[in-house]
Amino acid sequence: MKISHKIEQAAKEDRIWWSFEYFPPRTAQGLQNLLDRIERMRALGPEFIDITWNAGGRTSELTSELVKTCQKIIGIETCMHLTCTAMPKIKVDTALREAKEHGCRNILALRGDPPVGREWEPVETGFRYGVDLVRYIREQYGDYFDVSVAGYPQTHLLPPEEAAREMGYLKEKVDAGANFIFTQMFYDVDMFIDWVKAARAAGITVPIVPGIMPIQTWNGFQKATSLAKITVPQSFLDALEPHKNNDEKVREIGTKLVADLCRRILAADIGIKGLHFYTMNLEKGCRLLLEELNLVPRIEVIKPLPWRQSLTPNRRTENIRPIFWANRTRSYLSRTENWDEYPNGRFGDSRSPAYGELDGYGVWIKQTKEDALRLWNTPSSIEDIRNLFAQFCQGKLEALPWSDSAPSSETSVIAPQLAKLNELGFLTINSQPAVDGARSDDRIHGWGPANGYVYQKAYLEFFVSPELLDMLIPHIERDINITYYVINNRGDLRTNTHSDGPNAVTWGVFPGKEIIQPTIVEAISFMAWKDEAYELGRLWAKFYEPGSVTRQLIDGIMDSYYLVNVVHNDYKRPDAIFEPFFKAGAEYAAKYGSAPQLPTTNGHANGHANGHAN
């Protein structure tokens, strides 16, 4: 969606909005940390985000990849910076083409800074000024993109003739097709207000979005204002400098100063209701500032669907997904990115006939080896493994190899039951509770348009030993409302369902709409997921040395355990799905005296875990 449309909508609703800027980090780990931070900061309610383009274009590929991830995976509207610096026309064309492919509708066109230590100069076949880039984007793409440009309030303090010339340059960029203006950071609010009035007097009518820089530390504040060559009011210096050696105090005072600046902008009669925060890839400063302004917590935007929608062009209408990838969205998006069509309305044969191969995504565990050892230690018995899974379900462990992040809020509804299942030997990797008509604005289960109701069938997915599975199946089959799929690592599938079609396990009823069924269970998808589920276990094992007890233990589980999913189709009985498991667990304990261990052959657990099966 175009940012100008978002600004128009906010104006109609007479509400304040805000957005965040990030820059591409220099390392792979920094990139992953930034993506995690963007995901967390999404909860602060930004209308959109933007990603910078490094001086000299050195991180251009990373900028493009960040835009793709934010649009596709995180599902947040993203504006991409694009500069003239060190950018021949062919690179500009590539950047614009990729932005369109990723569903990005917003470009900030800049001349850009020169590489460090050099004077700015255009490259052959490149562009000299930001206005040239604006014109080129309009020539090549018409009105497909919203194009924004930079404005510099500091120029208002130049001699009148120079200030007028600078304002003329800005007017030229707007006349060339710019839809709105982002301003450089500033701390002199009177200067900013006067500059905005001067812009309006010069005939500039497009929205102006003030750039706000939170104050994090004294040294950072000094460096940022020096690099940007901006005027700092004496009142800021008087308040901050006495505490320059106390970062916490500087942040506390700085937050109040910048919050007051924001209030004055919003209260001034200059038609501005939006704030653009330069985050410097930091979270706390923006959060504290929004809290000081009483802008968070805001009214929560209800999710259109129970999973995060992708904003890439070919997936915007997708509204159905299999449940198996609930905790591994990136993998699902990658393995289905070559489908001709994405399921919408009803999950049928319109999709391509096969999921992509595993190596298309490159199945991987998010954690580094060091993080994995810190999180999961070195389990040496089945009991240790069961305890890890139980701790995850109870929120005491932040991740498992099968889940990129901590359990969802609705997992807490069934956390005690899940922990018990894992203690009994059912190693759960995915689940959802039964829901009988929760309101669409419910904080835990809600999704979809206002004044609707949502429903869920209880669902469990887990690894289980052959012996415990043999005891579970008879109890499951006594309940006519339960359907299941069982598969091993070789792909042998068995089920009690007689339908070839999908089983909708989540649906919603909303005013004026057909019933929406966004989450399903079906055989083809489960068989595709099976390969990934087992591979994740094997990758976990590889964090440990060959021949080690832990590696043999995990490999033994992946070699011998079955992967099972179970749906209880009576959503009015929320606890019914657990009853067969508790009965099978009690039966196993009565017969063998404990939860299952790895099967042993000649003293080895499936050829693994020597001496640690009992």
Measured in whole angstroms, the distance separating CA 261 from the mean position of its chain's CA atoms is 31
* Residue 63 neighbours by CB under 8 Å, 6+ apart: 24, 51, 52, 53, 54, 80, 81, 95
Cα–Cα distance, 399 to 376 (Å, whole number): 9
Tokens of 278: 């330069």
Catalytic residue among 8, 13, 21, 318: 21
Q: Is 546 exposed, middle or buried (0-12, 13-18, 19+ CB in 10 A)?
A: exposed
Residue with tokens 């609930």: 326
SS3 of 156-185: the string is HHCCHHHHHHHHHHHHHHHHCCCCEEEEEE
Residue with tokens 């919050």: 259
Query: Residue 463 in contact with residue 491, Cβ under 8 Å?
Result: no
Cα–Cα distance, 522 to 529 (Å, whole number): 11
Residue with tokens 């990934």: 532
Give the 3-state secondary structure of residue 582. Answer: helix
Residue with tokens 């919603």: 508
Q: Judge whether 241 counts as a catalytic residue.
A: no
DSSP 8-class letter at 72:
I
Q: How many CB atoms lie within 10 A of CB 15?
A: 13
Cα–Cα distance, 173 to 204 (Å, whole number): 10
Cα–Cα distance, 469 to 473 (Å, whole number): 6
Angle between helical axes of 189-201 and 247-267 (0-180°, round to 10): 30
Closest by CA to 199, choosing from 218, 162, 174, is: 174
Tokens of 336: 């289905």
Q: What is the edge-to-edge ordering of all strands in the sheet holding 435-439?
A: 321-322, 516-521, 503-509, 453-456, 435-439
Cα–Cα distance, 451 to 555 (Å, whole number): 49
For the annotated catalytic residues, the residue numbers are: 21
